[in-house]
């Protein structure tokens, strides 16, 4: 997926209705809502920048800076809100809130692409996720394997090693979202092990002004890496975590070390980003609670924008500014209560009827009433 990149006990908890970590404080933790809205806005901006990066070094640099951390951090939050996987009924929730919406939007986007780009036929491939749908499919797989992985002796180390090794597998790419599922899994698993106090410690140790400087430094770093570095590394393709090393021009045995560096970079930039995010309730906290709607719906607007090529009629700073502002406004619009009310049956469908009703075990062996004459 060229996005891009972001999301719990269920997808609803991850991007729509997250709850704070288990603690005595039952009030909503608005910090995570704030993080999610800012991240989902970056997802929209990153997708909107994609058609522009070939003609503008500025747009490509900003695009790469966004992609260093936005999906890794989104995935880390997904793992953070997956702590309730062991509770009764969680498997049904995963199917209802992740897998079913995946099927729905995988079909919708395939049909939509056919109409926008006037293709010869509708190409629906459930096992090869369409563009941004990789995240939902991978999220489903992460939730499936999480109960087994946490029983390993060294789960984080194992996930990290697998994330490096998958890059050496030539056939591991978009099929079953295998490459991204394995490569991004360490972020999901790390999020699962994090507790609320870990975030508090981060805030105490790193000052906001230091974090702002660090985030600002990512931009010239990306410019140097892509335009001035002595070797051609094709950072954009590396940051997707989807292509085998050989496909990005590095078949050497040490190619995995580049991914190690990118994982470390993603964690560092994610930490800096978390420090600068407001911790209390803000005017956009409520929008962050509906980020699943933005994620699943914004692609329709981005595909129409790309298909119409309207950016051919405007250029320069005016184009870059209008695309950025429009992307932010789109994220706000798709986070609205009105959009949620209209699209709720698609994003969060009520599918309880597909599950077998659970019977109370106390009544399973209860003798039937015997009527004697």
pLDDT of residue 362: 56
Instruction: Report pLDDT digits (tens) over 68-116.
Output: 999 999 999 999 999 988 777 788 889 999 999 999 999 999 999 888 8
Comparison of pLDDT for 6 and 285, the residue scoring more = 285
pLDDT of residue 77: 97
Mean pLDDT to the nearest integer, 193-220: 96
Tokens of 334: 């798709």
Q: Are 277 and 40 in contact (CB under 8 A)?
A: no
Residue 88: CB partners within 8 Å, gap ≥ 6? none
Q: Are 293 and 343 in contact (CB under 8 A)?
A: yes
**Integer Cα distance of 348 and 292 in angstroms:** 9
Q: Using the 8-state DSSP alphabet, how is residue 98 labeled?
A: I
Q: Is the pLDDT of residue 312 over 70?
A: no
Return the ∠ at Cα 51 (arms to 45 and 54), rounded to 5°.
115
How many residues in the chain? 373
The C-alpha R_g of the chain, in whole angstroms, comes to 22
Instruction: Report pLDDT digits (tens) over 2-39.
Output: 444 434 443 334 344 443 343 344 578 999 999 999 99
């Amino acid at each position: 997926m060229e996005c891009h990149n972001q999301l719990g006990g269920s997808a609803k908890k991850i991007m729509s209705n997250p709850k704070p970590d288990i603690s005595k404080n039952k009030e909503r933790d608005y910090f995570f809502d704030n993080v999610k809205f800012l991240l989902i806005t970056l997802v929209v901006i990153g997708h909107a920048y994609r058609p522009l990066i070939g003609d503008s070094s500025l747009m490509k640099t900003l695009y790469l800076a966004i992609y260093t951390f936005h999906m890794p951090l989104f995935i880390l939050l997904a793992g953070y809100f997956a702590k309730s996987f062991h509770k009764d009924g969680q498997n049904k929730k995963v199917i209802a809130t992740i897998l079913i919406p995946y099927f729905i939007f995988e079909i919708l986007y395939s049909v939509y692409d056919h109409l926008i780009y006037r293709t010869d036929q509708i190409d629906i491939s459930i096992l090869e996720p369409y563009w941004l749908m990789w995240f939902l499919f991978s999220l489903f797989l992460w939730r499936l394997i999480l109960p087994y992985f946490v029983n390993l002796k060294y789960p984080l180390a194992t996930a990290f090693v697998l994330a490096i090794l998958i890059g050496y597998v030539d056939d591991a790419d978009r099929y079953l979202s295998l490459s991204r599922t394995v490569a991004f899994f360490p972020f999901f698993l790390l999020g699962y092990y994090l507790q609320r106090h870990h975030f508090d410690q981060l805030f105490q140790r790193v000052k906001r002004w230091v974090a702002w400087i660090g985030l600002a430094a990512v931009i010239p770093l990306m410019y140097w890496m892509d335009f001035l570095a002595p070797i051609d590394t094709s950072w954009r393709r590396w940051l997707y975590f989807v292509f085998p090393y050989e496909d990005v021009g590095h078949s050497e045995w040490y190619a995995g070390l580049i991914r190690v560096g990118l994982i470390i970079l993603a964690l560092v930039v994610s930490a800096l980003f978390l420090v600068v995010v407001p911790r209390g309730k803000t005017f956009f906290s409520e929008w962050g609670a509906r980020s699943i709607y933005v994620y699943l719906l914004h692609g329709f607007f981005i595909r129409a924008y790309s298909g119409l090529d309207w950016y051919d009629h405007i250029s320069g700073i005016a184009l870059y500014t209008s695309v950025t502002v429009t992307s932010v406004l789109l994220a706000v619009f798709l986070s609205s209560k009105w959009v949620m009310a209209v699209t709720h049956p698609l994003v969060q469908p009520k599918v309880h009827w597909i599950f077998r009703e659970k019977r109370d075990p106390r009544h399973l062996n209860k003798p039937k009433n015997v009527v004697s004459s």
